[in-house]
Amino acid sequence: MKKMHKNEGFTLIELLIVVAIIGIIAAIAVPGLLRARQSGNEASAIGSLRAINSAQSTFAASCGSGFYSPGLVNLGTAPTGGGTPFISPDLGSAAAPVKSGYTVTMVGATLAATAPASCNGLAAGQVAQGYNATATPNAGGGVRSFGTNTSGTIYQDNTGATIVMTDTPAPAGATALQ
């Protein structure tokens, strides 16, 4: 009587085929995941600029006597009489915070020399007549750059170059988001 040997397990060829299939699937999936991440970063940058527009509107109406904050750190400062800051700490704790692969900057271009002091510590004449903000992609953060100004419109530049913003007119070479 012959004894039957039972072989269990996988052969080396079978394992190599499985590894090759996994490699092909990963090669197809990774670029899509990177594009999704960049799209998420771009959406976050647009959201940051919308938050700045909203915070500036609230600041002007309730704290700046119709004028705007000259910087993000001031928007992140609560009124001295109590209350909450005008913008969240992720944007209001630094002059140029990096958030979701984008560097966000904001300036109040022209100070209003005759304006009264603000409710959150700015001296008289230190609030701005307008503002502009940009979100510029860092390496791997996104493809487009964004900007906004006193008009409240958000603009994009598909080249990723920093948009040169002013307080009110539309920037050259950028298109408004719809």
Number of C-beta neighbours around residue 9 at 10 A: 6
Share of the chain above pLDDT 70, in %: 96
What is the pTM (predicted TM-score) of this model?
0.84
- Residue 130's pLDDT is 93
> What digits encode the pLDDT tens for the residues 20-42?
999 999 999 888 888 899 999 99
Averaged pLDDT of the chain: 91
Assign domain 12-176 one CATH number from 1.10.760, 3.20.20, 3.30.700, 3.40.50. 3.30.700
Residue 146 sits at the vertex; the CA angle it makes with 169 and 41, to the nearest 5 degrees, is 165
pLDDT(90) > 90: yes
Q: Is 145 helix (H, G, I), strand (E, B) or coil?
A: strand
pLDDT band for position 119 (cuts 50, 70, 90): very high
Looking from the CA of 111 toward its CB, the CA atoms found within 13 Å total 13
pLDDT(116) > 70: yes
Instruction: Cite the DSSP H helix spans in 63-176.
Output: 72-75, 89-92
- Residue 161's pLDDT is 86
